[in-house]
Chain A
Amino acid sequence: MQGPAKDINLQNISVLVADPGEPAFRITRSILKSFGADPVVHARNVAQASKLIERGTVDLLIVNYHLDGKAGASLVRRIRENRRNPARHIPILMTLGHTTIGAVTLSRDAGANMVLTLPLSPGGLYDRLSWMANHPRPFVDQEKYVGPCRRFKNTGAPGGMERRSMDFDIDDDAEGEAETATAAG
């Protein structure tokens, strides 16, 4: 366990929320703005999200797994794999609603930094953003995988608090990333 989540500064952090639902976006925007983030913009589908991401002005992407059906993970993968994309290293938080087999693994293997199970709570969102800010992971760029190193220990919910019963983190013992990750630490 890592202890309480650290305070973070989100003033003027630019966030793109890629979610098919207008209400979900408005809730997320409202919470993020109360944390200080600004601007918080909305993409309703993969095409809109891709266009906004490629402008290179987004600091953080929050993407729903169920964007355009179940295309959230493929959007993340495309962002990570596009070497000409200025935003390919940005932190990405994947949100999951109803969870089916493999959704977490797919999200992780696409290159998401973290997974957050919906519904959203202010504490749950804050703690994950704090965790992402304070535990940056080496960026792996290999033929089979591009994204934050998947090999890290699961030490429980970030901050040890604000965990919902259906919540979980990405954790893994991904083969093949240990050497490169430890080299960069």
Chain B
Amino acid sequence: MPNKMTNEARIVPTRFTQIARQKPGMSREEAIQAGQSAVLEMEPEYLDWVDGLLRELWSAVELACQEDDFPNPHGEDAYGLSNQIRNLGATFDYEAVTHVADSFCELIHRLTEAKRNDQHAMRTHLNALRLVSTPNFKRDGGGELEPLMNALGQLVSHYPEPTGSVG
């Protein structure tokens, strides 16, 4: 018979909850405004980061495309790099970067599950990502994002959405 004392759930006080519930020095609005100012200050660095990540991604894609087998380590690198770019874009109002990089991740994920290599689809995604990383595509991309995403979506949809794998 299980020990009821050890199985009983209880709220465990943590330093985080104790401090966070104390009277704050600034309101939510002030804190968020301070956070937005901090993000704004980092925008010049964002452009350098994406530039560097795109260079690494280009190398990874080229190496992945040279391999007959898929998945391969270069494809995994390309997924990780694309995911990093994805996770940066919208923070700096480059929503298009996040959408295109997400599509690239999904493509590599499906290729991995299907054990297929598709150089054309990968290079097309890379070129699209380079395009939307330019300041012209900041915010809504001037109406050009939707047709671009539709075209990329068609490339991705050649491969079935994985249903059996987890994570």
Is the CB–CB distance between B86 and A119 below 8 Å?
Answer: yes
With an 8 A cutoff between CB atoms, is A41 at the interface?
no
- What's the tally of chain A residues with a CB closer than 8 Å to chain B? 69
Question: Given the complex, which residues of A lie within 8 Å of B7, measured CB to CB?
Answer: 141-142, 180
Of B16-24, B127-135, B148-156, the one contacting chain A is B16-24
Is the CB–CB distance between A98 and B46 below 8 Å?
Answer: no
12 pairs from A and B in contact (CB 8 Å cutoff)? A7-B24, A7-B27, A9-B22, A11-B24, A13-B19, A35-B35, A60-B16, A89-B12, A97-B105, A101-B165, A123-B32, A132-B16
Query: What mask results when residues 101 to 137 of chain A are scored 1 for a CB within 8 Å of chain B, else 0?
Result: 1110110000000000011111101110110111011
Question: Given the complex, which residues of A lie within 8 Å of B102, measured CB to CB?
Answer: 98
> How far does the Cβ of A58 sit from chain B's closest Cβ, in whole Å?
9
Is the CB–CB distance between A138 and B17 below 8 Å?
Answer: no
Of B59-67, B88-96, B118-126, B139-147, the one contacting chain A is B88-96
The majority secondary structure among interface residues of chain B is helix
With an 8 A cutoff between CB atoms, is A157 at the interface?
no
- B interface residue numbers (CB < 8 A to A): 6-17, 19-28, 31-32, 34-39, 41-42, 45-46, 49, 53, 76, 79-80, 82-84, 86-91, 98, 101-102, 105-106, 109, 162-163, 165-167
Q: Which residue of A7, A100, A120, A136 contacts B91 across the interface (Cβ within 8 Å)?
A: A120
Query: What mask results when residues 77 to 115 of chain A are scored 1 for a CB within 8 Å of chain B, else 0?
Result: 000000000000111000101101111011000000000
Is the CB–CB distance between A183 and B9 below 8 Å?
Answer: yes
Complex CA gap A34/B40 in Å reads: 12
Complex CA gap A35/B20 in Å reads: 11
Query: What mask results when residues 8 to 45 of chain A are scored 1 for a CB within 8 Å of chain B, else 0?
Result: 11111100000011011011001101111000000000
Is the CB–CB distance between B84 and A24 below 8 Å?
Answer: yes
Is the CB–CB distance between B12 and A139 below 8 Å?
Answer: yes
Complex CA gap A26/B49 in Å reads: 11
> How far does the Cβ of B37 sit from chain A's closest Cβ, in whole Å?
7
Q: Which residue of A8, A118, A120, A139 contacts B20 across the interface (Cβ within 8 Å)?
A: A8
With an 8 A cutoff between CB atoms, is A140 at the interface?
yes
Known: A136-B11, A138-B9. 13 other contacts (CB 8 A): A5-B28, A7-B27, A9-B24, A23-B46, A23-B84, A35-B35, A66-B83, A70-B167, A91-B14, A97-B86, A100-B109, A133-B16, A137-B11
